[in-house]
Amino acid sequence: MRLPTDHALLEQVEATLDDRDRALLAVAFLAGTDVPIPDDELRGARRRAMLLLAAGGDPHRELDPQGRAVNALASDLDSEGRREALAAGLEAVASAAPDLELLRSTADELRADTELAWRAFACALLVEELAEEPAE
């Protein structure tokens, strides 16, 4: 999947963002579309994170970006090459949206704090997993 650089799409994304936390996750997710993670590795890491969520109660509750599950997923998937790919994606988002203040400023904030960027990306991957799972 390639980073979406269609300005109209980015405008739609920005229009749906109503707070900083959502913006961090959305920008990290967009920027991470080219982060190379093999499907089997991603599935395993997400499964372990979901077990941590379930151990803490309802796995479909609001995610804590500082929580155990997010930190475990971030740690499981961490590598220098993946962080570099995420950084390149953040640069691409900022470049593709110079007039979209929220997207650009969020991308700039994430570029300035690589730990925050990596955790936001991991949290976005976990949100994606939760969205794909049927609620019980």
How far is residue 122 from each of residues 28, 50, 72, measured CA to CA in Å?
Answer: 9, 12, 9
Q: What is the pTM of this model?
A: 0.89
Q: For residue 100, what are the domain limits?
A: 38-132
Count the Cβ atoms, other than its own, within 10 Å of residue 110.
27
Q: Is residue 45 part of a domain?
A: yes
CA 27 – CA 70 distance, rounded (Å): 17
Give the count of domains, the chain: 1
Q: What number of residues does the chain have?
A: 136
**Which pLDDT tens digit goes with each residue over 78-117?**
999 999 999 999 999 999 888 999 999 999 999 999 999 9
Whether 17 is in a domain gets the answer: no
In the predicted structure, residue 74 carries a pLDDT above the cut 80 = yes
DSSP state of 33: G
Angstrom distance (rounded) from CA 19 to CA 40: 33
Asked whether residue 46 is domain-assigned, the answer is: yes
Whether 18 is covered by a domain: the verdict is no
